[in-house]
Structure 1
Amino acid sequence: MDILLSLATLIFLAPFLAIVAIGIVLTSKGPVLFTQIREGLGGEPFAVYKFRSMYIDRCDASGVAQTKAGDPRLTPIGRVLRRTSIDELPQLLNVLKGDMSLIGPRPHVYDMLAGGRRYRELVPYYAARHGMKPGISGWAQANGLRGPTDDAEVAWARIDHDIAYIQNFSLLLDIKIIWLTLRREFLGGSGL
């Protein structure tokens, strides 16, 4: 399902993706794609692809400095890409490469902070989320648990949702998450 849906989506969206790429090139200096090292299956590192949404001289390659509302690092087109989650679409290439699935726990950067602490320190069973390939979207995101991780309770709830997804994984659940993601993020997301 991952390979077929990601390939079909890339082919279907190719003209749109080309327009987005041209828009990025015309509105700010730097590459079209941004890569960042994230933790994948088994905690192994991999490079995740995203459309670049920040000015190249202001971005944080480590990913530790999360995007906030009104973030001055975002380009004008980057704000739109983030708000609509279009910046995530190049991750379909990660799915084709086998680094990610369409649905699974979102891949975090190493040493990601949650509630002012490293996630690993905050949530004792944090590493259990690496028992499955990370996804472009997941159960946490489908339930509105997306954005900055300043609040320790919300950050903890994300991990609980990731673990619940792993424990209840099914094709029907994946379809439900895809629908909820399209409705919540692409049609009405905040981009944080």
Structure 2
Amino acid sequence: MARLGGGRLVIATHNAGKLKEIGALLAPYGLECLSAGSLGLPEPAETGTTFVENALIKARAAAEASGLPALADDSGLSVAALGGRPGVYTADWAERQWFEGEPGRDWYMAMGKVEGMLQALGPDAARDAWFSCVLAIAWPDGESAVYEGRVDGTLVWPPRGKLGFGYDPVFVLNGDTRTFAEMEPDEKHGISHRADAFAKLVKDQFGA
């Protein structure tokens, strides 16, 4: 099985914040992380129906275009009572339609969609939910590896906290009383679905 050594690794994102977060996690292992955006790589269409498929699409596209190993992630929120939705369409639910104002993402609107669907199911609807993160590494020779992380919790309403992003203000981790958006970022990053996936990646790739 191929393994990451020192050297350059493409992070398949055009998001500077995500590059910084992932780069910090991998810095102890001697990797120089470059974003797909900084290399001018195009963003592939995420046509998969699972987190694994979409993460692999992004990682493979970046590896093929750059000739370097590439790491991509795909993550989102799934709600049990909604059949696992929004799932891979987590970000899509935040996209404003033409009649909803300026183009872009409105996460309060997205949280409201989830809450509206739960309320439509009645007062006894289960509010169990989970965040998933899939990390995929692809090498230029076609080899790949996938690591999956998950955290379980419940949804609350109204949203609470201003420290998170996305659906964080309505997600309470099992065993806690705070939403992710009420936790300090360092604490959340240590227990999140992304942290779970990264711990598996590091153990497998670096034996740590």
TM-score by length of 1: 0.28
Give the number of the structure whose residues are more often helix, by fraction.
1
TM-score by length of 2: 0.27
* Bigger Rg, structure 1 or 2: 2
Give the number of the structure whose residues are more often strand, by fraction.
2
